[in-house]
Amino acid sequence: SFDLCFIGVSGITIDGFYDYSPEDAELKRAFINRSNRAVVLGDATKFNHRALVKVAGMDQVHTIVTDRAPSERLAEQLAASGIDVIVAKASS
């Protein structure tokens, strides 16, 4: 069991988190299921994008780290699901 896992995804929608590879999605699900906290890493191009395979539902992820805030609708769904969104700013 892990305290914390970090996973990348190919898509983030109001329905959950997605990837293109069934094998990668299966591995990521295993990490999430064996972790106390799951952190998704994804840039803003992943928002409102659905890929081939669902990795996790909104109830399985605790935090998203991204480069820009999501759309209002997606942000509301993330907040309602208790997911913290961290917008990482690049240093200049």
The owner of tokens 């929608």 is: 13
Q: Mind listing the pLDDT tens digit for each residue in 7-60?
A: 999 999 999 999 999 999 999 999 999 999 999 999 999 999 999 999 999 999
Confidence bin at 89 (pLDDT 50/70/90): confident
The whole model's pTM is what?
A: 0.93
3-state secondary structure 17-54: EEECCHHHHHHHHHHHHCEEEEEEECCHHHECCCCCEE
Q: In what order do the strands lie in the sheet with 84-87?
A: 2-8, 35-41, 63-66, 84-87
Q: How far apart are CA 68 and CA 18, in angstroms?
A: 19
The full set of domain ranges for the chain reads: 2-87
